[in-house]
Chains A and B, each alone.
Chain A
């Protein structure tokens, strides 16, 4: 198994526990827990909204909507099914993508002042309950062709569609679909091995 510093893992697992607790208590309409949850997660979720929306005001408005959704839906969170940060981040990403899709204007270039996506898998995963599992996706992505990995990466982090991706890379739409589909198929093969 992978050899992580024990202290890092312990810290990550304490943080996760704290988050689970805040989220579950939020589900019982505990306003103090909701404020704790906001303090613990708003920077992560704002990072997601900002990168996908591409503008500060929109990202702020989407973030408002995201926490309202979290307040309403926290009761449906099931700790054994997903890590809290995955559950929260998925809501943020989906909301931000909804906002993007509702905009008529396409943004064919990435926003300039977005913080760079971190390079390589972190020591301890926030998203996975078992840290040794967390490196599988990263390892499998490394096995893809550059253009396949690049397209999947951009689709995930920038929330763009096939059409926008094709435009960014200046390739025909069919070519982009083919890259991504083959990349995803290869990824599945690796993940399910």
Chain B
């Protein structure tokens, strides 16, 4: 029976391990970076998430404590509604902590995304991120997985509202005769151009003021195929080949 420590012979199961949530520290950071850098890897993680999700069927339900829904609604309705008498314990402590930790998570992702692609095995140090970056980390990093309409690898987009920069992983959506143009489709349903994707490699776009206001969680990003150099009309003229919704990290 194959036993133990011959770890070197063990297969690379990083996608499954990430989906399972068993990794921590550097191993987790490296796997997260692969999600952004390798479309095939991201797909594998997604497939594993779907496989493992079947285990949720076995999870026993447990009646939730009273009052949670009310607290959620207070939080949704904003500070005015928070004037509702607050019990003198740590009721509102966790939301604050959660805010901080998702900022830390966003900071970590930012750290991962913005680093150059080549890396040493121990380069990513997530444990150092939280305490150092909480203060200036942007609180609303947005990500989208822009999925091709036909088969193909999704493009990951990461938007940093603080700098107005939008970074996208390599896309192979266009051919030699056409350019891939990225659009944001806001609440009004009208597409606004965010710029052209590079034919090879990752793209980095500076988002103008008008479009910055349009980039928010839930908003759709779409890629259309246009004449080389971009749509001549300011609206998509070719087929939409990929779409995805922005969500908060």
What residues of chain A have their CB less than 8 Å away from a CB belonging to chain B? 27, 31, 35, 38, 42-48, 50-51, 56-58, 60-65, 67-68, 71-73, 75-76, 78, 82-83, 85-86, 89-90, 93-95, 97-99, 101-102, 115-119, 121-122, 125-128, 134, 136-138, 152-153, 155-157, 159-163, 165, 171-172, 174-175, 177-178, 180-182, 184-185, 187-188, 191
B interface: dominant SS:
helix
What residues of chain B have their CB less than 8 Å away from a CB belonging to chain A? 2-7, 10-11, 13, 16-17, 20-24, 49-65, 68-69, 71-73, 75-76, 90, 93-95, 97-98, 101-102, 104-105, 130, 217-218, 245-248
**Is B2's CB under 8 angstroms from A115's CB?**
no
**Is B60's CB under 8 angstroms from A175's CB?**
no
**Is A102's CB under 8 angstroms from B101's CB?**
yes
Residues of chain A lying within 8 A (CB to CB) of residue B246: 76
**Is B95's CB under 8 angstroms from A117's CB?**
no
Q: How far is the CA of A37 from the CA of B59 in the complex (A)?
A: 18
Given A43-B64, A137-B51, A182-B2; A118-B58 close (CB under 8 Å): yes
**Is B94's CB under 8 angstroms from A47's CB?**
no
Q: How far is the CA of A60 from the CA of B65 in the complex (A)?
A: 7
Whole-angstrom distance between the Cβ of B124 and the nearest chain A Cβ: 15
For this complex, 17 residue pairs linking A to B, each with C-beta atoms less than 8 Å apart, are: A43-B64, A46-B61, A64-B71, A65-B95, A72-B248, A76-B245, A86-B50, A89-B56, A102-B97, A102-B104, A117-B60, A118-B59, A138-B54, A156-B55, A181-B7, A182-B10, A182-B11
Given A180-B17, A184-B13, A184-B17; A44-B7 close (CB under 8 Å): no
**Is A43's CB under 8 angstroms from B62's CB?**
yes
**Is A86's CB under 8 angstroms from B68's CB?**
no
**Is B72's CB under 8 angstroms from A89's CB?**
no
Q: How far is the CA of A123 from the CA of B5 in the complex (A)?
A: 39
**Is A178's CB under 8 angstroms from B59's CB?**
no
Residues of chain B lying within 8 A (CB to CB) of residue A127: 53-54, 56-57
**Is B94's CB under 8 angstroms from A44's CB?**
no
Given A44-B59, A178-B6; A98-B101 close (CB under 8 Å): yes
**Is A115's CB under 8 angstroms from B60's CB?**
yes
Q: Which 3 A-B pairs have the closest CB atoms?
A: A61-B94, A75-B218, A43-B61
**Is B16's CB under 8 angstroms from A61's CB?**
no
Q: How far is the CA of A45 from the CA of B63 in the complex (A)?
A: 9
Whole-angstrom distance between the Cβ of B145 and the nearest chain A Cβ: 10
